[in-house]
Structure 1
Amino acid sequence: MDNILILGGTGFVGRQLRERLAAARLRLTIPTREGGHAGSEPAAAVRVVTADVHDPDALARLMRGQDAVVNLVAILHGTAERFEQVHVALPRSIASACASAGVRRLVHVSALGADPAGPSMYQRSKARGEAVLQAAAEAGTLDLTVLRPSVIFGAGDQFLSVFAQLQRVFPVIPLAGADTRFQPVWVGDVAAAVQRCLQDDATIGQTYEACGPEVLRLRELVRLAGQWSGVAGGRGRPVFALPMPLARLQAWVMERLPGEPLMTRDNLDSMAVDNVASGRLPGLKALGITPAALADIAPGYLARR
């Protein structure tokens, strides 16, 4: 298995995965709408192609000559139609293009909490996307592995880094979903898990929950982000939990601000349930990966910021 197509290869997890696979001397194809070589890997190891992966014809062309596909494409915010396009229609197109090109191997990165009856559009659409691919696998056209990561942290993340930055600006942090529990996983461990799945055929047909070793409430994570980034002399800012009516108002306002929102009402809906491993599915240790602790990684990159 030498030729790997990475959909979403210019994103947060994608950049980490590219470095690992390029170091393993695999040949990578990375579609992007911008074009150009957008990474630190040797150009000979990575072929960056200008393409829209939501175009079925473009996706069919990308599949030619590939031995495996990794799908990392996802969004956190959007309308019901946008979630359907990215999390459901794209996996359906991937399954069809793989079948047409004879590409059997697919590693699909979904999300912890994917649930057809989940409280948010995000969770429900992630579950429907998994179902589309599982149906193709059951029909015998795909050799599928699914990874379900919890919230992912690491240098350049849009999680702890955002909370640290907010505490540099505001004297207090009013927080929605303050008591929701998370099991954050390091981006390097997620990339390692994808690589392990590509290398080991025993992972075919499996779904893995990719989670870190610690379960923390959101208020605790925000407090640690402030402390590790040195805000207020290493104390961080006070965090105040918002009651649900105010939390929904805050999310509604944020949805209407220019740029990518920090919080939407759908994000808030997701936090109605804890984002922790169910224990019913294998985790990173089943892939031979000992997940990194938050305190071993986050202080280094937060302090540099």
Structure 2
Amino acid sequence: MDMADRLVTIFGGGGFVGTTLVQHLAKTGVRVRVAVRHPNSAMHLKPLGDVGQVQVVQANIRDEKSVRAAVKGADAVVNLVGILHESGKQKFNSVQAIGAAIVARTAAAEGVSKLVHMSALGADADSNSKYASSKARGEDAVRHYFPSATILRPSVIFGPGDDFFNRFAALASRFPVMPVIFGDSKFQPVYVGDVAEVIVRAVSDAALAGKTLELGGPKVYSMREILELVCKESRNDLPLIDVPAPAAWVMGFFLGMLPSPMVTIDQLRLLQKDNVVSDGAEGLASLGIAGTPVEAIIPSYMMHWRPKGQFADQIEG
């Protein structure tokens, strides 16, 4: 089939990962249908392809009727939908478990040939984190309804517009000290462009059908090392202060009640455990992707958090 004749539906395509994925897919010539709850929030994606190549439609993965309409006629489906904290009707179970089941079941019923499902490292049905346990239930549902699906488990994903390094940089720009919570916990940040490349391959490569891929970058960092790097690249020379666990839980309780919580109790439960690729797991290396180093990318957007702005180096020079 000619690439221009193929249609890929992306649920949650209007977000951080979705925007990069649409760019990568558009370059291959496929038609892209972006299914989001609020279409007006994803109109910035239409210019990423040729005229008419990128279509934005309304869909909510909690609503099977809208999912079916978004999947109709698609050759491949990618589900990127996930939440970091609960709000209103957007609950971990309804979005990351039940929603994942609806997408997989509907894709199978509509005869879709490829399904790529975004999960996360740390997905564990026995976890005390609602996020992690719901991700695991979502994986189980996908495997049940669509056994040949490709499941991706990334560590934290970074790049311009991420909600990881940018969040800590925002803290560094506003506070006189940088609190360190569970500073020994390990992470293996993976570049959003590398994740998008894996998805593009999974959509077109039959050899990846039925596989679970763990995606991590070329280097493992402790939480303390990540915060040190953020402070360095944002030119905010702050003392790093360890927060004892009891104080961290109290902090998570109160900050989690904010309309846009900076940290929640559930996120603290995730921070307690390492977020790195398992020994022997298939991932970037098995696909021949070297992985993009954090240090090669984050200076390009950490500059916006510098006290003197993006031209700080020139001013200081």
Conserved 8 A contact 1:196-1:287: no
Which residue of 2 is the match for residue 183 of structure 1? 188
Q: 1:192 aligns with which of 177, 191, 197?
A: 197
Which residue of 2 is the match for residue 170 of structure 1? 175
- Give a deviation string over 1:137-193, Cα, whole Å, max 9, x none: 34xxxx210110001111011111111121111110122222211011111111111
Conserved 8 A contact 2:58-2:66: no
Which residue of 2 is the match for residue 26 of structure 1? 30
Runs of 4+ aligned structure 1 residues displaced above 6 Å come to none
Aligned-partner SS, 1:38: helix
Which residue of 2 is the match for residue 296 of structure 1? 296
- Opposite residue 153 of structure 1, the aligned amino acid is F
- Opposite residue 70 of structure 1, the aligned amino acid is V
Where do residues 256-295 of structure 1 align in structure 2 (5 Å cutoff)? 256-257=257-258, 259-295=259-295
User: Is structure 2 residue 121 aligned with structure 1 residue 120?
Assistant: no
Find the aligned partners of 1:50 and 1:250 in 2 and give their Cα distance: 37
Q: 1:15 aligns with which of 19, 44, 57?
A: 19
Aligned-partner SS, 2:298: helix
Conserved 8 A contact 1:18-1:28: yes
Find the aligned partners of 1:106 and 1:189 in 2 and give their Cα distance: 19
Which residue of 2 is the match for residue 230 of structure 1? 235
Find the aligned partners of 1:86 and 1:53 in 2 and give their Cα distance: 7
Find the aligned partners of 1:95 and 1:161 in 2 and give their Cα distance: 32
User: Is structure 2 residue 104 aligned with structure 1 residue 95?
Assistant: yes
- Opposite residue 9 of structure 1, the aligned amino acid is G
Where do residues 139-178 of structure 1 align in structure 2 (5 Å cutoff)? 143-178=148-183
Conserved 8 A contact 1:31-1:53: no
**Greater shift after overlay, 127-136 or 171-180?**
171-180
Which residue of 2 is the match for residue 129 of structure 1? 138
Find the aligned partners of 1:7 and 1:271 in 2 and give their Cα distance: 27
- Give a deviation string over 1:34-62, Cα, whole Å, max 9, x none: 32422241341101112323210111111
Aligned-partner SS, 1:99: helix
Find the aligned partners of 2:131 and 2:113 in 1 and give their Cα distance: 27
Cα distance change, pair 29–190 in 1 and its aligned pair in 2 (3 A): same
Residue 105 of structure 1, CA deviation: 1.1
Find the aligned partners of 2:215 and 2:77 in 1 and give their Cα distance: 19
TM-score by length of 1: 0.93
Aligned-partner SS, 2:35: strand
Conserved 8 A contact 1:119-1:272: no
Identity of matched residues, %: 39
What is the Cα-based RMSD across aligned positions, in Å?
1.6
Aligned-partner SS, 2:33: strand
Conserved 8 A contact 1:208-1:283: yes
Find the aligned partners of 2:48 and 2:146 in 1 and give their Cα distance: 32
Find the aligned partners of 1:94 and 1:268 in 2 and give their Cα distance: 29
Gaps of 5+ in 2: 306-317
